[in-house]
């Protein structure tokens, strides 16, 4: 359970903690009793309702849980005085998802993002909803919005990976990959890359376009130093060379990889 300044969903954490303790220890009847007491003090709290719905779902009372969740959702939509925070939304999302109504959780996040513009915490929650729904285009759009707000590498990578998923599913093709490559090049020009995963994503975008020479150039350049484990860099280099049709050089590189793994006694991992 997350909290900020001793509050959980707008409620003092000391009032909420016993409920979570009861849930965690699977004492659902006690948790429901505590939840009823909490609701008597905070009858218009979406978070208190979300907690009750969570307990009911764990007790196997799906219809009641859904009804309570919908009440919480209605409060979020109609009462401007209630708190709409990530903890409340994520609790509702858990229940909606377990009840096979992820679309309702997504709609809550979409409403919250429209109401609280540029709230990264809520936007990340919405992105995760789209991930669970395989909504690759909306993933991309949300990730780009977050990237434009803070310029963080991770959000750019989320956007690029969302583009790659669209291409893998047969949508967009060349134009989308050019977009992904352009986004990465622009970021590299202004910020460079800082994580090995970012380099791997960049190389994979080039590979998807059969730009093996460009990928090899990137790997052998300054960015290649992000791969601190030499054998990892060699394996990527060998793969790129083979796909580029330079089989002799690729064979030499893979020979180095095999020798390295053999020296470390880890050859069986490579063979697998």
Q: Which residues contact 39 (CB under 8 A, 6 or more apart)?
A: 45, 48, 49, 52
Same domain, 62 and 153: no
Same domain, 2 and 124: yes
What CATH number corresponds to the domain at position 92? 1.25.40.10
Same domain, 18 and 124: yes
Q: What distance in Å separates the CA atoms of residue 196 and residue 226, rounded to the nearest whole number? A: 5
Answer whether residue 262 shows pLDDT above 90: no
Query: Nearest to residue 131, comparing CAs of 117, 142, 115, 120?
Result: 142
pLDDT tens digits, one per residue of 35-71: 999 999 999 899 999 999 999 999 999 999 999 999 9
Same domain, 164 and 178: yes
Same domain, 162 and 252: no
CA gyration radius, the chain: 24
Chosen domain end from 71, 94, 129: 129
Same domain, 33 and 98: yes
Report the pLDDT averaged over residues 252-270: 75
The total of structural domains in the chain comes to 3
Same domain, 29 and 103: yes
* pLDDT for residue 172: 74
Same domain, 2 and 121: yes
pTM over cut 0.85: yes
Same domain, 187 and 111: no
Helix (H, G, I), strand (E, B) or coil at 265: coil
pLDDT tens digits, one per residue of 114-166: 999 999 999 999 999 999 999 999 999 999 999 999 999 999 999 999 999 99
Same domain, 212 and 120: no
Q: List the domain range (segments joined by +) for residue 238.
A: 229-272
How distant, in Å, are the alpha carbons of 1, 64, 111 from that of 91? 9, 16, 16
How distant, in Å, are the alpha carbons of 13, 80, 101, 166, 218 from that of 185? 46, 43, 39, 20, 11
């Amino acid at each position: 359970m997350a909290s900020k300044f001793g509050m959980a969903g707008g409620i003092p954490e000391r009032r909420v903690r016993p409920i979570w303790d009861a849930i965690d220890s699977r004492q659902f009847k006690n948790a429901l009793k505590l939840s009823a007491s909490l609701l008597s003090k905070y009858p218009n709290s979406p978070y208190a309702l979300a907690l009750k719905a969570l307990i009911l779902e764990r007790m196997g009372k799906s219809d009641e849980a859904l009804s309570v969740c919908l009440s919480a959702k209605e409060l979020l939509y109609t009462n401007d005085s209630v708190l709409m925070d990530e903890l409340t939304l994520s609790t509702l999302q858990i229940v909606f998802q377990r009840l096979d109504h992820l679309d309702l959780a997504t709609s809550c996040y979409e409403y919250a993002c429209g109401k609280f513009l540029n709230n990264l915490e809520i936007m990340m929650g919405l992105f995760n909803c789209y991930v669970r729904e395989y909504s690759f285009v909306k993933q991309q759009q949300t990730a780009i919005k977050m990237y434009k707000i803070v310029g963080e590498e991770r959000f750019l990578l989320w956007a690029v990976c969302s583009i790659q998923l669209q291409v893998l599913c047969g949508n967009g093709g060349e134009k989308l990959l050019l977009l992904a490559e352009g986004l990465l090049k622009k970021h590299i020009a202004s910020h460079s890359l800082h994580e090995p995963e970012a380099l791997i994503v960049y190389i994979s975008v080039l590979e998807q376009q059969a730009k093996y020479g460009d990928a090899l150039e990137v790997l052998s350049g300054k960015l290649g130093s992000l791969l601190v484990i030499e054998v990892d860099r060699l394996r990527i280099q060998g793969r790129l060379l083979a796909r580029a049709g330079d089989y002799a050089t690729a064979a030499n590189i893979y020979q180095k990889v095999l020798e390295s793994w053999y020296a470390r006694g880890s050859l069986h991992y490579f063979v697998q």
